[in-house]
Structure 1
Amino acid sequence: MHATLKAHKNLALFDFDGTLYGKDSFTGFIFYVHSKRHIALQGLKVLPYIQSYYLGFYPAHQMRPKLFQAMFKQAEIKEIDMHAKLYAERLIQGLNPALYSQLKQHQNLGDDVVLVSASIDIYLKYVCEILSIDLICTQVEQNQQRYTGRYLTPDCSCEQKAVRIQEKYELDRYHAVYAYGNSVEDMQMLSLADFTYFAGTDAQLPDLSNHPNHRQIS
C-alpha cells in the first residue's frame, strides 16, 4: 500500500498571496472588514512599524502579527466570520487563471493539494473549503467569542512553512512534491519540492503530463 501511494500520488503546495492570488489578501481583508476610521485610528498604533516595513527595515513576518493585533483585538468572531465567508468568495474570483488551472489539474489527477500561507485562517479556511483543498496557515487565537489579537501559531512564513508541511505530511510517501511560490518567504517550502514554480520569474508552470495517473485519466 505504501508503494502504491508513493507511485501514484503527488503533493502540490501553493502559496497564496502573490502566487495563487495576485495581491495581498490580508491587507485586503482589513479594508473589507473595517471602516476607514477604524483603520486610521488603529493604524496609528503601529505606524512606526508600518513605515519601517515599507522602507525595508522591518520584516513582514514580524509586521503581520502587530498589524493583526492592532486591527482585530477584541473583534467579535461572529461578525468577522460573516465577512470572512463573503471575502473568500471574492478572493476566488480573483485567482490567477493559470495557477488556478494548474491547481485543478493536480486535483483531477488525484494529488493532495495544500494552500500554504502566512496569511490568517479567518478567511483562508473558507477559501480552501470552496476549493476543496487542505490548509496550512497562520492561526489566530480566540477567547469568549472574540479575537484576542494574538497568533495561536508562529507566523507561517519562511522556515515555518517547511516545518508545518513536514509535521503534517510524510513527503517520502509521494511520487513527487510540487511547490508554487513567489517570494523569499516561500524558499524553504520550495526547497522541499521536486518541481517548483516561482511566480514572476519562471516562464512555464511544471508539466504534469508525466504524472503517474495521467494516462489513466486521459
Structure 2
Amino acid sequence: MPNLVVFDFDGTITRKDTMLALAQYRCGLPGFLAGMVVLSPWLLMHVLGIYPNHRTKERFLTFFFGGTTVEEFGKLCQQFIDEKLEGMLRSDAIKCLKQHKEAGDRVLVVTASAGNWVMPWCIRYGVECIASSLEVKEGKITGRMDGKNCYGEEKVRRLLEKARPGDYDALIVYGDSRGDSALGKMADKYFYRNFA
C-alpha cells in the first residue's frame, strides 16, 4: 500500500518564503523595502503576538497585490515560477519528493501560500496542491483570503477533506515551522527541517 506524503512549501521545498519573494519580484528591492516599512507596524504586532497571522498576511497581500486583475496576477505568478522559483528550491527536498513519487506514494503540497503560484508549480512536478485562496471581486485580487488561511489546524482539516490517512500505509509529513506542527502530530513519520 502506498504512503500519503505531505510537504509544506515555504521553507520546506523552498529556501525562503515565496509570498515575500513574489512581492520583491514584482516591485524590485527598493519598492519591496518601502512596502515593508509601510507595513512594519502590523509586522511588529504580529511578531509580538498581538496581531493574527491571517490578518498580517492580508495586509501584505492587499498592499502588494490588491487591485491587480486576475489575468495580470496569473501572468506575474507564472513569470515568477519560470524565472525565480526554480532557483529557490531545496535540492534535497526535490530529490525526496521525486523518490516518493517513484515509489508510488500519493504526494501533496499543503501550504499557507496562495494557490496562484503554488498550484502551477505542483502541476509541473506532478503533485497535488492544497493551498490558501485569494478573494477576487470584479475580476481583481482584493488581497483578502477567500476562506481560511491554510495554516496550522486548517492544514489538517483541508487534508482530511481530500484524503483519509487510514487508507495508506503511513502518513509522512515534511515541514519546517509551527504552521506544520498540527500535521506533524497526526503523522506516522514527521520530518522537521530534514528529509531523512
Give TM-score scaled by structure 2 length: 0.90
- The alignment of Structure 1 onto Structure 2 pairs a total of residues equal to 194
Change (3 A) 1:23 1:42: closer
2:188 to 188, 191, 194: 194
State the alpha-carbon separation in 2 of the partners of residues 26 and 48 from structure 1: 19
Given that 1:92 and 1:127 are in contact with CA atoms closer than 8 Å, whether structure 2 keeps it comes out as no
Asked if 1:120 corresponds to 2:114, the answer is yes
Map 1:100-139; keep pairs closer than 5 Å: 100-139=94-133
Map 1:76-155; keep pairs closer than 5 Å: 76-89=69-82, 90-155=84-149
Q: CA deviation at 1:165?
A: 0.6
For 1:157, what is the secondary structure of its paired residue?
Answer: coil
Asked if 1:63 corresponds to 2:51, the answer is no
> RMSD over aligned Cα, in angstroms?
2.0
State the alpha-carbon separation in 2 of the partners of residues 19 and 74 from structure 1: 30
Match of 2:15?
22
Given that 1:11 and 1:113 are in contact with CA atoms closer than 8 Å, whether structure 2 keeps it comes out as yes
Given that 1:139 and 1:151 are in contact with CA atoms closer than 8 Å, whether structure 2 keeps it comes out as yes
State the alpha-carbon separation in 2 of the partners of residues 158 and 118 from structure 1: 9
Match of 2:40?
47
State the alpha-carbon separation in 2 of the partners of residues 53 and 148 from structure 1: 21
The Cα offsets for residues 6-46 of structure 1, whole Å up to 9 and x where unpaired, read as xx2111100011111110111111111235448736862x3
State the alpha-carbon separation in 2 of the partners of residues 80 and 31 from structure 1: 14
State the alpha-carbon separation in 1 of the partners of residues 62 and 24 from structure 2: 15
Q: Which runs of 5+ in 1 are unaligned?
A: 1-7, 207-218
Given that 2:78 and 2:117 are in contact with CA atoms closer than 8 Å, whether structure 1 keeps it comes out as yes
Q: CA deviation at 1:93?
A: 3.1
